[in-house]
Amino acid sequence: MNSKSEVVVVTGAGLGRAIACAFAKRGAKVGLIARGGAGMAGLEGAKRDVERFGGTALILPCDVADASQVEEAARKAELELGPIDIWVNNAMASVFGPVQDSEAADFKRVTEVTYLGQVYGAMSSLRRMRTRDRGRIVLVGSALAYRGIPLQSAYCGAKHGIQGFADSLRAELLHEKSGVKLCMVQMPAMNTPQFDWVKNLLPNKAQPVPPIYQPEVAAEAVYWAARHGRREIFVGASTVIAILGNKLFPQVGDWYLGRTGFKSQQRLGQPKDGSAPNNLWEALPGDRGAHGDFDAQAKSFTPQLWLSLNRKWLALAALSVVGAVMLGRTVMGYRK
Phi, psi of 81 (to 5 degrees): -110, -25
Give the count of alpha carbons within 13 A of 23, CB side only: 31
DSSP state of 76: H
Q: Which residues contact 159 (CB under 8 A, 6 or more apart)?
A: 114, 115, 141, 142, 144, 145
DSSP letter at 311 equals H
d(CA 12, CA 51): 18
Cβ neighbours around 232 below 10 Å, total: 18
CB 222 within 8 A of CB 185: yes
Residue from 120, 146, 155, 223 carrying the catalytic annotation: 155
Which residues 6+ apart lie within 8 Å of 190 measured at CB? 14, 15, 208, 212, 213, 214, 215, 218, 292
The answer to whether residues 29 and 4 touch, using CB atoms and an 8 Å cutoff, is no
Q: Is 135 left (phi over 0), alpha (psi -120 to 50) or beta?
A: left
Give which of 157, 206, 208 is closest to 187, Cα–Cα.
Answer: 208
Q: Are 87 and 125 in contact (CB under 8 A)?
A: yes
Q: Is 334 a catalytic residue?
A: no
How far apart (Å, rounded) are the C-alpha atoms in residues 18 and 206?
Answer: 22
**DSSP count for the chain of H helices, then E strands:** 12, 13
Q: Which amino acid is at 281?
A: W
Helix, strand or coil for residue 88? strand
Between the two ends of the chain, the Cα-to-Cα distance in Å is 54
Catalytic residues: 155
